[in-house]
Amino acid sequence: MFHYLEKTLASQVVAPTRRTFLKLSAGAVGGLLIGGGVAPIRDAQASTPAEAFVQPFVHITPDNQVTVIVKHLDMGQGSANGLATLVADELDADLSQLSVQHAPSNPNVYKNLLFGVQGTGGSTAIANSFEQYRQAGAAAKAMIVQAAAERWGVEPGTITVSAGTVSGGGNSATLGELASAAAEQPVPETVSLKAPEQWVYIGKETQRLDLPVKTQGSVGLFGIDLQQADALTAVTLRPPRFGATVASVDDGSARAVDGVVEVLQTPAGVVVVAQNMWSAMQGRTALEVTWDETNAEMRGTDELAAEFSALLDQPGNAAPARGDAAGKLASAATVIEADYSFPYLNHGQMEPLNATVMFDGEKAEFWFGSQIQTLDHNVAAAVLGIDFPNVSINTMFAGGSFGRRATPDAHLTAEAAMVVKAWFDATGEARPIKLVFTREDDMASGYFRPMHMHRVRAGVDENGMISGWEHRVVGQGIMIGTPFEAFTVKDGVDHSSVEGAADTTYDLPDFALDTHHPTVGIPVLWWRAVGHTHTAFVMETMMDELAEAAGIDPVAFRLNHLTSDARLAGVLREAADRVGPAPDGTHRGIAVHKSFNTYVAEIADVRLREDGTVKVEQVTCAIDCGVAVNPDNIRAQVEGGLGFGLSAVLREEITLTDGQVDQLNYPDYPPLRISDMPTVDVHIVASAEAPTGVGEPATPPIGPAVANAIYRATGQRIRSLPLTKHGLA
Amino acid sequence: MTRIILNGTETDLDVSPDMPLLWALRDSLQMTGTKFGCGVAFCGACTVHIDGIPARACQTYIGDIEGAEVTTIEGVSSPEAQAIQAAWVELQVPQCGYCQSGQIMSASALLKETPKPTDEDIDFAMDGNLCRCATYARIRKAIHRAAEILEA
Ligand code: FES
Ligand code: FES
């Protein structure tokens, strides 16, 4: 989705020349180094020695350490390791000498090739880097080989590199021993890449470099754990309703709290700055603030649901239609009409939002899990009133994101910058300030997956084929009201509300879809798999209903309508072929969906407990994501992705009463627990296609697979989530 | 002043007795392996051992633990913990990793108490540790694997 950023931010991206390329990379790398054989964690400010081999994506030091510079935020999805694997494969490095380090913010060098700016999302990390990182590894290897050939007086063609050892003419050396000589070589204009059968790591089960440290406390990885001398902690008291502002503040008691250093005001609210988090939170509790609610959103979700529901009766903004849906429905043998509703959802990533900033009036340095660095960088510079080159961003590993750290308004960056600016204006002191959201701040501050309602009318004819499909979607468009609206919204239809339905690849020759995007003052945002989180539910439960109406097996019925999408049909067949017998007493449901160019089928076996709640016992998945760069990591992402989706299906719902969020912490919004987790069996379809994303595509199918299973168990069609609404969870 | 035995070392904490152990560890002692997830004893990210029993540091007050033995992820080194950490890497459990300090503290306490846990034992002991990345299927397998490692 973020490719829309390209146009807006293009002015910030200067075409790279080779000179700037090299200059920018050398020494420009801050951030944390983890993994590998030398030091699992190197100091954040570690500098690269002068005699090292330094290219934008790979550094090789004389101590034989190979560091891959990772342009994508690793928020748990394994992209750092994935990118390192690509370099290591072409370089023929040994995995034990490999480390990873997040890249600095520099759109010229580190842009996402699909977005045009530096940023991570839409499950693109491997997809856009697959050529680039292999080329970086191959170029480094060519320079190493050339250096070895000159040193040993042999032909480059006679030199081999294997597991980090360079050999030729009876000599051998490590990559580290050749690093400084390789650094003197010209960068090759072109390199040839290995054929797939020559890959040594790609497609193999390799262990993630970041996991040993993550079993030892992840010390130094996350922004929230950053330790700096002299640093202060800030928490913000935010208005109780979206759109409210501060009317008056009495901070006398707050300032009296032990450890509180300063109380500041920003457009986000009233900020308590303290020696530590505990003092900051206590100081915040002691604040007395009145709010101006003139422009606040006062509606609750009940009122919004009534308004959305009324809009389902009215024609909306039409997406391009095909055929004659209304005409076909008029003559269909059976017509099914159904309404669906989906709640607001919180991301609930376990590391609450935070950002640390140091500002001396001229230059600013940031440390946080930046997901769209170029946007954060621009916003930081604008808020602080300094030039782009005077801002630097150290991207930290993130304790989850699921979309939450990528906001079109960069509100976290803006707020952190406003706090540090207010601090500097008030005190003249340059000190690092860590702005931390409590769980309550994180949960109640909006940026939710938007509430949506759908209405579908679909028919089947006497031959068991779908005959007409009318679809209406009501919900806030994620991009509406952002600077990207002009690029994302066509004919009044925000694609992020209809993706997965408007672009379905089922054979639906007579299809019409329209939308309403009501204006609501609640900030909304993409949430793992974005619009697919609700469109897949509607499409795949309706397909199940239509199959039943046609008297056809649900798999066969889907296959009958997938004549133009062989890959989607392929995963459906794969899952159906591979699934074992359903455990005794369970009921089975299936769903298949494509998102982010990856195809996933899921079969859920569900048991009804005695108290009437459901336990999803086992899920069988088939995934086609092109070349499987790291099969075990793909399985991990499928397990986690469907677990994340199941969590929402079971119990997650953000509601508002009179404009105030009702859920403030996990007890009110209880995510999936270990006792809820099914066993998961993942089958990866062998493919030679370019690799596509795996972080999101397993999330959409789980809801409809479970709902279809529940229908088999109870005869009840589930058309609203979460299942707690129906006493099923 | 409160004295505790932290990871085997006598440690004096000059903080208010009503400060939660979580913030004393993270902010006063700069020991950030113990994570902040919810602050209300609901997510388990802050799990430590107090006198060998898993406890939520966010709801444990300094004034209540005078003289207690506190073990954090930085100091945990029992055979159970080592087996858990090894199994965690072998089965590639963590994703973002943020919850995993707490998971490992809870799982190592489980194995100490119940060397051969059943799935039900695991559900019971681990249900208070949320993982938003939903690494649960691997956590379960890795606990069984750690039990095997310990047996060998
Ligand atoms: S932070 Fe202590 S249980 Fe969540
Ligand atoms: S690994 Fe991310 S929350 Fe558990």
CB of B111 within 6 A of ligand 1: the answer is no
Number of domains in chain A: 3
- Of the candidates B6, B63, B67, the residue with the CA atom closest to the CA atom of residue B34: B6
Tell me the nearest-neighbour CA distance from A187 into chain B, angstroms.
35
pLDDT beyond 50 at A363: yes
Q: Which segments of chain B are extended strands (E)?
A: 2-6, 9-13, 47-50, 53-56, 69-71
Which residue in the set A77, A212, A221 is minimally distant from B95, CB to CB? A77
Q: What is the pLDDT of residues A632-660, one digit of tens each?
A: 999 999 999 999 999 999 999 999 999 99
Domain-embedded: residue A441? no
A484 plus A405 within the same structural domain:
no
Look at the alpha carbons of A142, A148, A152, A153 in this order and tell me if their dihedral is positive or negative: positive
Domain-embedded: residue A674? yes
CB of B46 within 6 A of ligand 1: the answer is yes
- Chain A residues 648-677 within an 8 A CB cutoff of chain B: 665-667, 670-677
Q: Residue B133 CA: which ligand 2 atom is closest?
A: 2
Mean local confidence (pLDDT), B51-57: 97
Do the chains contact at A350 and B37, CB–CB below 8 Å? yes
Take residue A451 and report the two structure tokens written for it: 């509430």
Q: What is the pLDDT of residues A268-326, one digit of tens each?
A: 999 999 999 999 999 999 999 999 999 999 999 999 999 999 999 999 999 999 999 99
- Of the candidates A84, A60, A57, A361, the residue with the CA atom closest to the CA atom of residue A211: A84
Take residue B129 and report the two structure tokens written for it: 């540790």
- Residue among B21, B23, B40 whose CB has most ligand 1 atoms within 8 A, to mutate: B40
A423 plus A571 within the same structural domain:
no
For residue A207, list chain B residues with Cβ-Cβ distance below 8 A: 89, 92
A403 plus A431 within the same structural domain:
yes
- Give, in order, the Cα–Cα distances in Å from A82 to each of A57, A71, A210, A606, A694: 13, 12, 11, 34, 12
Mean local confidence (pLDDT), A359-387: 96
For residue A354, list chain B residues with Cβ-Cβ distance below 8 A: none
By C-alpha distance, the chain A residue nearest B45 is A350
CB of B5 within 6 A of ligand 1: the answer is no
For residue A432, list chain B residues with Cβ-Cβ distance below 8 A: none
Ligand 2 center to B60 CA (angstroms):
23
Query: For a pLDDT cut of 70, what percent of chain A falls above it?
Result: 93
Take residue A97 and report the two structure tokens written for it: 């000498």
Look at the alpha carbons of A536, A539, A545, A547 in this order and tell me if their dihedral is positive or negative: negative
A467 plus A559 within the same structural domain:
yes
- What is the distance between the terminal CA atoms of chain B, rounded to a whole angstrom? 45
Domain-embedded: residue A432? yes
CB of B124 within 6 A of ligand 1: the answer is no
Euclidean distance between CA atoms A514 and A512, whole angstroms = 7
Find the radius of gyration of the CA atoms of chain A.
27
pLDDT at A47: 57
* Domain-ending residue, one of A198, A215, A232: A215
Cα A418 to the center of its chain, rounded Å: 26
Domain-embedded: residue A576? yes
Query: Quick check: B58 and B38 in contact, CB under 8 A?
Result: yes
How many Cβ atoms sit within 10 Å of the Cβ of residue B19? 23
Domain membership of residue A119 as a residue range = 5-215
Ligand 1 center to A211 CA (angstroms):
22
Mean local confidence (pLDDT), A428-454: 97
pLDDT beyond 50 at A357: yes
Do the chains contact at A219 and B40, CB–CB below 8 Å? no
A393 plus A496 within the same structural domain:
no
**Residue B143 or residue A27, greater confidence:** B143
A196 plus A106 within the same structural domain:
yes
Residue to substitute from A347, A674, A677, interface B, most B β-carbons within 10 A: A674
A429 plus A453 within the same structural domain:
no
pLDDT beyond 90 at A3: no
pLDDT at A48: 63
Euclidean distance between CA atoms A577 and A555, whole angstroms = 11
Confidence of residue A484 (pLDDT cuts 50, 70, 90): confident
- Chain A residues 206-225 within an 8 A CB cutoff of chain B: 207-208, 210-222, 224-225
Euclidean distance between CA atoms B97 and B109, whole angstroms = 19
Residue A641 neighbours by CB under 8 Å, 6+ apart: A528, A529, A694, A695, A696, A697, A698, A699, B134
Do the chains contact at A224 and B33, CB–CB below 8 Å? no
Find the radius of gyration of the CA atoms of chain B.
15
Q: Residue B35 CA: which ligand 1 atom is closest?
A: 1
Query: Quick check: B95 and B139 in contact, CB under 8 A?
Result: no
Cβ neighbourhood burial of A172 (10 Å; 0-12, 13-18, 19+)? middle
Residue to substitute from B32, B98, B120, interface A, most A β-carbons within 10 A: B98
Ligand 2 center to A213 CA (angstroms):
14
DSSP, res B136:
H
DSSP, res A41:
E
Residue to substitute from B96, B123, B124, B130, interface A, most A β-carbons within 10 A: B96
Euclidean distance between CA atoms B132 and A585, whole angstroms = 29
Which ligand neighbours the alpha carbon of A674 most closely?
A: 2
A515 plus A494 within the same structural domain:
yes
Query: Quick check: A401 and A349 in contact, CB under 8 A?
Result: yes
Residue A389 neighbours by CB under 8 Å, 6+ apart: none
User: For residue A418, which amino acid is it?
Assistant: M
Q: What is the pLDDT of residues A375-410, one digit of tens each?
A: 999 999 999 999 999 999 999 999 999 999 999 999
User: What domains does chain B contain, in order, with CATH numbers?
Assistant: 2-71 (3.10.20.30), 79-151 (1.10.150.120)
Mean local confidence (pLDDT), A686-699: 94
CB of B42 within 6 A of ligand 1: the answer is yes
Residue to substitute from A209, A215, A404, A440, interface B, most B β-carbons within 10 A: A215
pLDDT at A470: 98
Which residue in the set B28, B97, B137 is minimally distant from A221, CB to CB? B97
Domain-embedded: residue A660? yes
A313 plus A431 within the same structural domain:
no
Do the chains contact at A674 and B139, CB–CB below 8 Å? yes
For residue A640, list chain B residues with Cβ-Cβ distance below 8 A: 95, 133-135
CB of B38 within 6 A of ligand 1: the answer is yes
pLDDT at B15: 94
pLDDT beyond 90 at A12: no
Ligand 1 center to B41 CA (angstroms):
4
- Of the candidates A536, A546, A538, A543, the residue with the CA atom closest to the CA atom of residue A459: A546
**Residue A206 or residue B6, greater confidence:** B6
Domain-embedded: residue A98? yes
* Domain-ending residue, one of A190, A215, A240: A215
Q: Beta strand pairing status for A511-516 and A245-250?
A: unpaired
Interface predicted TM-score (ipTM) of this complex, two decimals: 0.98
Domain-embedded: residue A462? yes
Query: Quick check: B44 and B50 in contact, CB under 8 A?
Result: no
A663 plus A714 within the same structural domain:
yes
CB of B41 within 6 A of ligand 1: the answer is yes
For residue A222, list chain B residues with Cβ-Cβ distance below 8 A: 32, 98
Which ligand neighbours the alpha carbon of B45 most closely?
A: 1
- Of the candidates A24, A36, A30, the residue with the CA atom closest to the CA atom of residue A60: A36
For residue A642, list chain B residues with Cβ-Cβ distance below 8 A: 134
- Give, in order, the Cα–Cα distances in Å from A43 to each of A36, A54, A455, A603: 14, 18, 55, 46
Do the chains contact at B98 and A212, CB–CB below 8 Å? no
pLDDT at A477: 96
CATH number of residue A428's parent domain: 3.30.365.10
Tell me the nearest-neighbour CA distance from B5 into chain A, angstroms.
19
- What distance separates the 2 farthest-apart alpha carbons in chain B? 46
pLDDT at A127: 86
Q: What is the pLDDT of residues A195-235, one digit of tens each?
A: 999 999 999 988 999 999 999 999 989 999 999 989 999 99
Pick the range with the lowest mean pLDDT from A199-208, A447-456, B61-70. Answer: A199-208
DSSP, res A319:
P
Tell me the nearest-neighbour CA distance from B67 into chain A, angstroms.
22
A400 plus A334 within the same structural domain:
no
Which neighbouring-strand residues pair with A516? A474
Domain-embedded: residue A442? no
Do the chains contact at B85 and A215, CB–CB below 8 Å? yes
pLDDT beyond 60 at B85: yes
- Chain A residues 64-83 within an 8 A CB cutoff of chain B: 75-78
Ligand 2 center to A186 CA (angstroms):
43
pLDDT at A8: 42
A308 plus A417 within the same structural domain:
no
Confidence of residue A116 (pLDDT cuts 50, 70, 90): confident
Query: Quick check: A15 and A490 in contact, CB under 8 A?
Result: no
Ligand 2 site residues (CB inside 6 A) read A 76, 350, 400; B 94-100, 131-133, 135
* Domain-ending residue, one of A379, A402, A436: A436
- Give, in order, the Cα–Cα distances in Å from A298 to each of A397, A452, A517: 37, 19, 18
Confidence of residue A32 (pLDDT cuts 50, 70, 90): very low
pLDDT beyond 60 at A29: no
CB of B15 within 6 A of ligand 1: the answer is no
